[in-house]
Amino acid sequence: MSLLNQFKTSLARSKSGFVDRLGSLFGSGEINDEFFEELEETLVSGDVGVQTSLKLVDQLREAIGNQKVKEREEARKLLIQIITDTMSSGENSTLADQKPAVILLVGVNGSGKTTSAAKLANLYRQQGKKVLLVAGDTFRAAAIEQLEIWSGRAGVDLIKQEPGSDPSALFFDAMNAAKARDADVVIGDTAGRLHSKYNLMKELNKIYRVVGRNLPGAPHQVLLVVDATTGQNAVAQARSFNEALALDGLILAKLDGTARGGIVINIQDELEIPVSYVGTGEKIEDLAPFNAADFAHALLED
Ligand SMILES: Nc1nc2c(ncn2[C@@H]2O[C@H](COP(=O)(O)OP(=O)(O)OP(=O)(O)O)[C@@H](O)[C@H]2O)c(=O)[nH]1
Ligand SMILES: [Mg+2]
């Protein structure tokens, strides 16, 4: 499936709400104050956030003025361009050429970390890379088993330890294993944690430092996995994790499960953390590298 179609399918639920309302706004009719007001309301209702919505509407108003656009249909193209420009910094967030390249997935409980780790492993393996998964959620036996099943499906090796063991020690060993096994990409799952829990955030920080001590420069990509259905709270999560770890990007999981989908624009605009991937379903292949233009078209075109 093409990226555009993947976004369209995953935004299908938004069809009954946000995307549909946006689409009908850009049908026939003149451009007047009511149009701008309704557009702002619609964007806010789609989780774009008040400030970001205002900004987008202002940019559109300016572009419409500059280009003397009269038709709503033409204004649609302008908004597609504005959203594309806002979102494009997340594209091509490819991994540096280090070997092994280390990716760490973090996030609150249940956001989609373990599933996304498996999806990423699958993606890199399909590119011919030798991938190593790390079962960094050592708190729950079930979490280790879950990743073990996924690693089997993705056809990649898994590094794990007994439930209850120290995740930093596990990651230290995993770096050794990655070097010994000549892995190209190491993908580390971590336990879910509330962004407001100081000790748990400190533990993540320790993992980060231990990885870097064993392998200078690593981790090369720290990705926050955010559940698209959590709405505005996702912005607060991104802010806290970014303060603790300096995030390189986001994985927006469960975009297929929300009637809104505008939260990505909000996070990108407010925090300038690029969206690297979008989760579009529960299966291993349901992960799409982010593409700004495709996303904007999926939001605004029928
Ligand atoms: N529809 C849909 N479901 C998803 C997606 N990603 C993950 N899920 C589901 O969300 C649930 C939680 O996913 P996990 O990967 O276990 O989440 P986690 O962040 O590892 O959870 P904890 O380890 O408990 O913190 C599972 O039922 C997944 O199948 C997605 O992109 N779309
Ligand atoms: Mg998990």
pLDDT per residue over 5-62, tens digit each? Answer: 777 777 776 556 788 888 889 988 889 999 999 999 999 999 999 999 999 999 999 9
Q: Which among 105, 134, 282 is the best mutation to test ligand 1's pocket, defined by most ligand atoms within 8 Å of the CB?
A: 282
Q: Rounded mean pLDDT of 143-154?
A: 95
What predicted TM-score, i.e. pTM, was given to this entire model?
0.92
Tell which wins on pLDDT, 6 or 99. 99
Q: Rounded mean pLDDT of 205-227?
A: 95
Beta strands 185-188 and 131-134 are parallel
Q: Which among 106, 115, 250, 254 is the best mutation to test ligand 1's pocket, defined by most ligand atoms within 8 Å of the CB?
A: 115
CA distances from 236 to 1, 107, 194, 232 (A): 33, 12, 11, 7
What is the rounded average pLDDT for all residues in the chain?
A: 91
CB neighbours of 215 closer than 8 A, spacing ≥ 6? Answer: 100, 102, 175, 178, 179
* CA 12/CA 255 separation, integer angstroms: 9
239 pLDDT above the threshold of 60: yes
Cβ of 281 below 6 Å from ligand 1 = yes
195 pLDDT above the threshold of 90: no
Tell me what pLDDT residue 91 has: 57
CA distances from 189 to 14, 107, 250, 289 (A): 29, 10, 14, 19
Atom of ligand 1 nearest to the CA of 286: 31
Place of tokens 């708190």: 139
With 0-12 / 13-18 / 19 or more C-beta atoms within 10 angstroms meaning exposed / middle / buried, residue 161 is middle
Atom of ligand 1 nearest to the CA of 109: 25
Tell me what pLDDT residue 96 has: 64
* Residue 166 CB neighbours (<10 A): 14
Cβ of 285 below 6 Å from ligand 1 = no
Ligand at minimal distance from the CA of 280 is 1
pLDDT band at 1 (very low <50, low <70, confident <90, very high): low
When mean pLDDT is compared across 4-18, 210-224, 236-250, the lowest value belongs to 4-18
